Amino acid sequence: MIGLNPSTADDSKPDRTISKLLKFAHLNGYDGFVMLNLYPQRTPYPKDLDEEKNQVYHVENLERILAFINEYQSLDILAAWGDKIMIRNYLIDCLKDIIHVFACKNTSWFHIGDYTKNGHPRHPSRTAYNLGFNKMNMDQYLKKVIR
């Protein structure tokens, strides 16, 4: 699962988003998940993200994602960043770089329910469980929404 940025959760204590994702995963036939993020800065408030991308953080995030995915032949990925992807210009570039990292794998993308009115995959925190996971065409998303 790919969110915007880490909030307050850690390995021993989930936050609201992680708790919702755990239930979404279970309801959709998964026994667990790994949480990845577009940008690794920890804050519960996306408006507090760095004004400019910290390239060192970004490269380290990509390296950790690559190390993780190298263990798997295929991946199901839930896009869960919501409209906040537009809060900083660099977040779109982070997404594109992450997609590039995933290009070497058999990857299936999903989103929760319908897209937001702005065309982005929904953030899970205020999303009903009955919406389920829907297939996502990442190429189409990038062409249509991320210009």
As given in the structure block, the two tokens for residue 22 are: 């755990």
* pLDDT-derived band at 98, boundaries 50, 70, 90: very high
pLDDT tens by residue, 47-72: 999 999 999 999 999 999 999 999 99
pLDDT of res. 119: 94
- Rounded to an integer, the average pLDDT of 19-46 is 94
pLDDT category at 39 given cuts 50, 70, 90 is very high
Q: Is the pLDDT of residue 146 over 70?
A: no
Residue 112, SS3? Answer: strand
- What is the model's pLDDT at position 23? 94
What pLDDT, on the 0 to 100 scale, is given for residue 62?
98
Separation between Cα atoms, residue 53 and residue 65, nearest integer Å = 17
Q: What confidence tier does 9 reach under pLDDT thresholds 50, 70, 90?
A: confident
Please check whether residue 115 is in contact with residue 11, taking contact to mean a CB–CB distance below 8 angstroms: no
DSSP states of 2-63 as a string? Answer: EESS--S--SS---HHHHHHHHHHHHTT-S----EESS----S-GGGS-SS--HHHHHHHHH
Closest CA to 84 of 25, 41, 55: 41
In whole angstroms, how far apart are CA 136 and each of 45, 77, 97? 26, 9, 18
Query: Is residue 92's pLDDT more than 70?
Result: yes
The predicted pLDDT at position 16 comes to: 87
What is the pLDDT, as a whole number, of residue 75? 94
- What are the extents of the domains in the chain? 2-144
pLDDT at 10 over 80: no
